[in-house]
A and B are shown apart, each in its own frame.
Chain A
Amino acid sequence: MSVLAWRRPSLMPGFGLSVGYTVVYLSLIVLIPLSAVFIETSELGWGRFWDTVSAPRVVAALQTSFGASLIAATINAVFGLLVAWVLVRNPFPGRKLIDGLVDLPFALPTAVAGIALTAIYAPTGWIGQWLQPLGLQIGYQPAGIVVALIFIGLPFVVRTVQPILEDLDPEFEEAAVSLGANRWTTFRRVVLPELWPALLTGYALAFARGVGEYGSVIFIAGNMPMVSEIAPLLIVTKLEQFEYAEATAIAAAMLVLSFVILLCINGLQWWRTNRHAA
């Protein structure tokens, strides 16, 4: 009965089968293939890895990916919070429909989103043609990447903030208002502290998704090296040139950065549950 050392006894049947299947399938599909990236990178050696990752074009691509994701996630944090607030607190006709539509970026294939956004924001596009005379160009520029990532990331923020907002009792805000606080103070001192952890989680999720995003970005970005080339595209380019080692090194750098973000998300969630438990 050595199993008892690491699991509490349970009446439930099928522990061996379900845990065995879960772990084997997880290893075959995710863990072993992912470990290939790190094993291949370690065979490169530190010197060649660093040379690859610190090449100007790679650094520029990583900066573009992380920078655009940061900006898009920030915009999404603001507007996602606003959308969630309106959906929960301001009833209006058709709210259910709009609420369902928020999930569109989860359901719409990224390639479709990419060409649709390009049709809108390209210099000849629906919105692009009006921005062009003003000297603003979004399509085929780094700004286009941000637009695509706003589309991709929006539901992450709305869907993490919305449930917290639904549970938040308006009575606290009423109490604050009746004690003389104005609307902005009430929001900042009463509402925001409650929403903060969820907002950060949504921000981190949108950010993480944006860093890895490929399909929606490549159509609208213009893909100029050093300017509007994202890191995932650079991996694809290296693969097409059969530079597997370099592609793998860039992938490893991205994975490490993403894992750090994932750890932060888990840390935030831990912080959130512990705060609520207290």
Chain B
Amino acid sequence: MKITTVNGSSPTAHARPTDARQAAWPRIVMTGVALGFLLVFLVLPLIAVMTQALAKGFGTYMSALSDPAALHAIYLTLIVTAVAVPLNLVFGVAAAWTVTKFDFRGKSLLVTLIDLPFAVSPVIAGLIYILLYGAHGWLGPWLDAHDINIVFALPGLVLATLFVTFPFVARELIPVMEAQGRAEEEAALSLGASGWQTFLRVTLPNVKWGLMYGVILCSARAMGEFGAVSVVSGHIRGETNTMPLHIEILYNEYQYAAAFAVASLLALLALVTLAAKAFVEWRASRSHALYDLEASPT
């Protein structure tokens, strides 16, 4: 490989295009600066979580994780996620079907409104449910009279999580279904398939990787949500503390090793999320390549 600097009028006859674009050293400097930036801002925090978690030894680590309050926090996080993600999944599918299979007035407004929760601070996402369901809220007296707890209880945690994870599935599905078009569904329908059959046998298999992708992102955010859940939880230890809230309490009590131990579980979960995301992307691109291969001879 020949490295040449191209100076104006005398382009070296057979220089490889890559060489013409960039000499070696700026390329190395740029890569170095970019990697250094990523090292300081992304890799170092991960290493910090892991080392701080084990700073007081493996015994402390395990006892922090097997503490009853920690176990309850893990349990509560899983419950909230298990309720919130399927609800937003169903919504995401319905919204993507509405937006991509039909043309109607107000469609772009609908898409904007679906994205709205991304532009709202998580703290405000918690606040709105206090305004509605809190003791002094609109429905507060009624709920109180019927002995129903929403705020400072599980339903509040689920509602706040639903809000912050609201757009994830829809957002991933809409572009995928848009790219898929309507021809295959229309063919199935004209051959006599019912609406549900068309959806289950034609649409769903076509968008399954996009769907998985949305579910992964949605679950990661649901398990890790802090601000919204913090506002509606009331921080009742062993009752309404999810894992991120448990971390905050431990941290504020100066139990750093324990806080980082619980944090390390969530950090591992984040790495699993990234791996799953990469796998789904790889499968999606492979099925696209296959699809193109099958389509090309015709």
Chain A interfacial positions (CB closer than 8 Å to B) = 6-8, 10-15, 17-19, 21-23, 25-26, 29-34, 36-37, 40, 79, 82-83, 85-87, 89-90, 92, 96, 98, 100-113, 115-117, 119-120, 126-127, 147, 150-151, 154, 170-171, 173-174, 177-178, 180, 183, 208-209, 211-215, 219, 231-233, 235-236, 239, 244, 247-248, 251, 254-255, 258-259, 261-262, 266
C-alpha spacing A11/B188, complex, angstroms = 11
CB of B9 within 8 A of CB of A108, answer no
B242 to chain A: closest CB distance in Å? 10
> Which residues of chain B are within 8 angstroms of A111 by Cβ–Cβ distance?
224, 226, 244-245, 247-248, 263, 266
Q: Is B172 located at the chain interface by the 8 A CB criterion?
A: no
0/1 interface trace, chain B 84-107, chain A, CB 8 Å (1 if under): 000000010011011001111110
Question: Main secondary structure on chain A at its contact with chain B?
Answer: helix
Residues from 44 to 60 in B contacting A, C-beta threshold 8 Å: 44-46, 48-49, 52
- Beyond contacts A107-B270, A247-B127: 4 other A-B pairs, Cβ-Cβ < 8 A, are A101-B274, A109-B225, A115-B259, A235-B124
Which chain B residue shows the least CB distance to A65? Answer: B121
Q: How far is the CA of A31 from the CA of B124 in the complex (A)?
A: 13
Give the Cβ gap from A1 to chain B, nearest Cβ, in Å.
Answer: 14
Contacts of A6 in B (CB 8 A): 104-106
Query: B136: CB under 8 A from chain A?
Result: yes
In this assembly, does B277 line the interface, its C-beta being within 8 Å of a C-beta of chain A? yes
- Please tell me if the beta carbons of B102 and A7 are within 8 angstroms of each other in the complex: yes
Please tell me which one of the listed residues A14, A177, A248 contacts residue B6 in the complex, with CB atoms under 8 A apart: A177
A183 vs B97: C-alpha distance when bound (angstroms) = 47
Q: Which residues in B have their C-beta under 8 angstroms from that of A177?
A: 6, 20-21
On whether the beta carbons of B42 and A232 are closer than 8 Å, the reply is no
Beyond A29-B159, A30-B113, A248-B127, is A254–B121 a contact (Cβ under 8 Å)? yes
Which single residue of chain A is at the shortest CB-CB distance from B27?
A90
| B192 on the A face (CB < 8 A) | no
**Which chain B residues lie closer than 8 Å to A219 at the CB level?**
251
- Is there an interface contact between A170 and B21, defined as CB atoms closer than 8 Å? yes
Closest chain B residue, CB of each to CB of A155: B42
Q: Please, which residue of chain A has its CB at the minimum distance from the CB of B133?
A: A33
Determine how close the nearest CB of chain B comes to the CB of A120; give it in whole angstroms: 5
Q: Provide the residues of chain B in CB contact with A170, threshold 8 Å.
A: 17, 21
**Interchain nearest-CB distance for A250 vs B (Å):** 9
- A108 to B22, Cβ gap below 8 A? no
User: B44 touching A120 by the CB < 8 A rule?
Assistant: yes
Closest to A105 in B: B42
B198 interface hit (Cβ, 8 Å): yes
B209: Cβ under 8 A from any A Cβ:
no
User: Would you call B195 and A215 a contact (CB within 8 A)?
Assistant: no
A-chain residues with CB within 8 Å of residue B223 when the two chains form the complex: 109
B34 engages A86 (CB within 8 Å): yes
Known: A10-B101, A103-B274, A180-B9. A214 touches B123 (CB 8 A): yes
Interface centre among B11, B35, B124, B190 (most CB of A within 10 A): B124
CB-defined contacts of A213 to chain B, threshold 8 Å: 121, 227
Cβ of B231 and Cβ of A239 under 8 Å apart? yes
B298 at the interface (CB under 8 A from A): no
7 closest Cβ contacts across the A-B interface?
A109-B224, A212-B121, A13-B195, A7-B104, A215-B226, A214-B227, A116-B45
The CA-CA distance from A127 to B231 in the complex, in Å, is 32
From A79, A87, A147, residue with most partner B Cβ within 10 Å:
A79
Please determine whether A178 and B20 come into contact, CB atoms closer than 8 angstroms: yes
A154 to B244 alpha-carbon distance, docked (Å): 22
Q: Min CB distance, A184 to chain B, in Å? A: 10
Within 8 Å of chain A (Cβ to Cβ): is B291?
no
* B8 neighbours in A (Cβ, 8 Å): 180
Q: Report if B41 contacts A (CB, 8 A).
A: yes
